Amino acid sequence: MFFKKQNKEKLSVFRYFIFVEVPAEQVYQEVLLWDRSEWWPKNSVLKIIRLGDGQPEQGMQFKMYLILPFLFLNHLELNSLVPQQELNFIFVKGSLKGSQVIRIEARSNGIKVEYELSYQIQGLLNKIFWAMFWGPIFAKGIQGIFNSLKKHIVGKSQQTLNQS
């Protein structure tokens, strides 16, 4: 997990990833459930709400917010979806400008699930709140979500193996 600051014209980047040793299709199916999953941490301060029904598809809208004072709210749109590999969202309204991507990549030692946020904070007050509150809390929220995803996927895989 890290934040990387770049010059004013470029976007800042935040990344976090996990490795799991299960088939990629199991991981992808769980990631597709993203905001409607049973594995999403109940106490997560980061909330994502799908504004529509059905499976995620290009153009679908989402709201993302942190449960905090000084509300951090952003609207996202699923910009592209590459089956079994990637979900790419763009920010269409709110404090952030940029995108967030969830990638699933097969590696020799398992499946890498990576979250990448490429962003610019819009407005001076939002920049102050991001530096003081939102940024660190957002990072912990993503870490908690991905660790919960990993625990769920590994547990589900173990159940399947035990039933065999």
Q: Model pTM?
A: 0.87
Average pLDDT, the chain: 88
Kindly state the DSSP code that residue 34 receives in the 8-state scheme: G
Query: Domain range for residue 135?
Result: 2-163
Per the structure, the count of domains in the chain is 1
Provide the 8-state DSSP code for 30.
Answer: H
pLDDT, tens only, 112-150: 999 999 999 999 999 998 998 899 999 999 999 999 999
* pLDDT at 74 (0 to 100): 94
- CATH number of residue 85's parent domain: 3.30.530.20
Residue 81 has pLDDT above 60, yes or no: yes
Residue pLDDT, tens place only, 143-160? 999 999 999 999 888 777
Instruction: Say if residue 3's pLDDT is above 70.
Output: no
For 19-38, the pLDDT digits (tens) are 999 888 888 888 888 888 88
Distances (CA, A) of 86 to 7, 30, 149: 27, 13, 16
CA 153 to chain centre: 16
Percent of the chain with pLDDT over 90: 54
**Do 93 and 123 touch, CB atoms closer than 8 A?**
no
